[in-house]
Homo-oligomer: A and B are copies of this chain.
Amino acid sequence: GTAPKITGPVVANMPWQDRPEDSNDVMWRFDQNPIMGPREIPCALGVYNSGLLPYEGGFIGVFRVDHMDTVPFLHLGYSKDAVNWDVEHEPIPFVREDGTPSIIQWAYDPRLVEIEGVYYISWCNSLDGHGPTIGLAATTDFKNFTQLENAFLPFNRNGVLFPKKFDGRFAMFSRPSDNGHTPFGDIFLSYSPDMKYWGEHRWVMGADFKHGWWQGVKIGAGSIPIETSEGWLSFYHGVTSTCNGNIYSVGASLHDLKDPTIVLKRSYTALLAPEMDYEVSGRVPNVVFPCAALADAETGRIAVYYGAADTHMGIAFTTIDDVMEYLNNEKPREHCS
């Protein structure tokens, strides 16, 4: 067969390091990790779980910033190299569609996507103080940000938009939740003709000990899906529970290009699991949580951005070839429940 290809822009200036010689891992860490963390800006207890994109020759990002009251907000940030970032000290000033200021009670785990020339931010948003759901906003210039209707009823988290429409409709992964820390969670897909009304909800894939303990408790979509010749490539998080708390790891899934509810491949092992001090310790120990990825169509390089211990931000590298070889070759355990 032919080699797998990333369908998308060339991002020649994205960060990159080759796999260390002594490693066989499918995904490997940036040696300057963590690239960001507490006190990145003075008021920040942590900067992590954030979305970013190439923009005007450099990069732009929407960052989760936990303020000193532990309340998270969305801040804009700029970078030339996607490693060193200037993060604004004030949260993004969203306005409503009628131009009045929008009240953001709290906002976390943003994703950033471009769809047909418009940039959309999706995040976990408070529905007027009555539970978490998926907040949405649009911008074309990263100066004016219009907050749209929340996509769903509570309780929902981890809303991730596709960068393309399907039959003229927007598509979004999300994870229905409960009103607490949610000891369960599967990935669903929903469609919208207009970013306002959503429907045709379908279950996509579930938490499942048989796919590996690391994803036995809950899973949630992570990075914006990457279009490839083989399908939509998604880096998602999986959670297991131990005698002393949860562990969040990173996996990959491949979805049919026309119908992303069809799961073509799904990783049985974690591609990245908490191992480094800044992943194992922090405000929420033992968390690696993917929220964004840069992918270069020319080289097939992929840089996954992930939150570490709800405190820091890290980068892990892989290539389309590495991921596809891994997904194509792995076999399920005979049993694993």
Is A334 in contact with B105, judged by CB distance below 8 angstroms? Answer: yes
Inter-chain CA distance A150–B268, complex, in Å, is: 27
A153-B201, A198-B198 known; A105 and B245 CB under 8 Å? no
Is B281 in contact with A280, judged by CB distance below 8 angstroms? Answer: yes
Interface set, chain A 69-116, CB cutoff 8 A to B: 69-71, 103, 105-106
Interface set, chain A 8-58, CB cutoff 8 A to B: 23-25, 38-39, 42, 45
Instruction: Give a binary string over A320-336; 1 marks a CB under 8 Å from any B CB, 0 the rest.
Output: 00000000000001111
Instruction: Give a binary string over A118-150; 1 marks a CB under 8 Å from any B CB, 0 the rest.
Output: 000000001111110100000000000000011
Task: Point out the residue from B103, B190, B201, B268 that lies within 8 Å of A69, measured CB to CB.
Answer: B268
Is A273 in contact with B70, judged by CB distance below 8 angstroms? Answer: yes
Interface centre among A25, A150, A242, A337 (most CB of B within 10 A): A242
Contacts of A203 in B (CB 8 A): 127-130
Interface centre among A45, A192, A270 (most CB of B within 10 A): A45
Interface set, chain A 282-337, CB cutoff 8 A to B: 282-287, 310, 333-337
Stretch from A160-168, A180-188, A228-236, A252-260 at the B interface:
A180-188
Q: How far does the Cβ of A7 sit from chain B's closest Cβ, in whole Å?
A: 28
Is A126 in contact with B337, judged by CB distance below 8 angstroms? Answer: yes
Contacts of A105 in B (CB 8 A): 333-337
Is A176 in contact with B197, judged by CB distance below 8 angstroms? Answer: no
Given contacts A244-B245, A281-B285, 14 further A-B contacts (CB under 8 A): A67-B269, A68-B214, A70-B273, A106-B213, A127-B203, A153-B190, A181-B243, A197-B198, A198-B198, A242-B284, A244-B286, A244-B287, A277-B281, A285-B285
Q: How far does the Cβ of A167 sit from chain B's closest Cβ, in whole Å?
A: 13
Contacts of A273 in B (CB 8 A): 45, 68, 70
Contacts of A243 in B (CB 8 A): 181, 246, 248, 284, 287, 310
A70-B212, A275-B45 known; A285 and B245 CB under 8 Å? yes
Answer whether residue A225 sits at the interface, using C-beta atoms and an 8 A cutoff: no
Answer whether residue A63 sits at the interface, using C-beta atoms and an 8 A cutoff: no
Interface set, chain A 218-252, CB cutoff 8 A to B: 240-249
Inter-chain CA distance A127–B190, complex, in Å, is: 13
Copies of this chain, whole number = 6
Interface centre among A25, A45, A203, A285 (most CB of B within 10 A): A285
Inter-chain CA distance A197–B168, complex, in Å, is: 14
Contacts of A45 in B (CB 8 A): 273, 275
Answer whether residue A4 sits at the interface, using C-beta atoms and an 8 A cutoff: no
Inter-chain CA distance A133–B337, complex, in Å, is: 13
Is B213 in contact with A335, judged by CB distance below 8 angstroms? Answer: no
Answer whether residue A151 sits at the interface, using C-beta atoms and an 8 A cutoff: yes
Inter-chain CA distance A191–B150, complex, in Å, is: 12
Instruction: Give a binary string over A201-221; 1 marks a CB under 8 Å from any B CB, 0 the rest.
Output: 111001000011110000000
Answer whether residue A156 sits at the interface, using C-beta atoms and an 8 A cutoff: yes
A242-B310, A245-B244, A280-B281 known; A336 and B214 CB under 8 Å? no
Inter-chain CA distance A54–B21, complex, in Å, is: 35
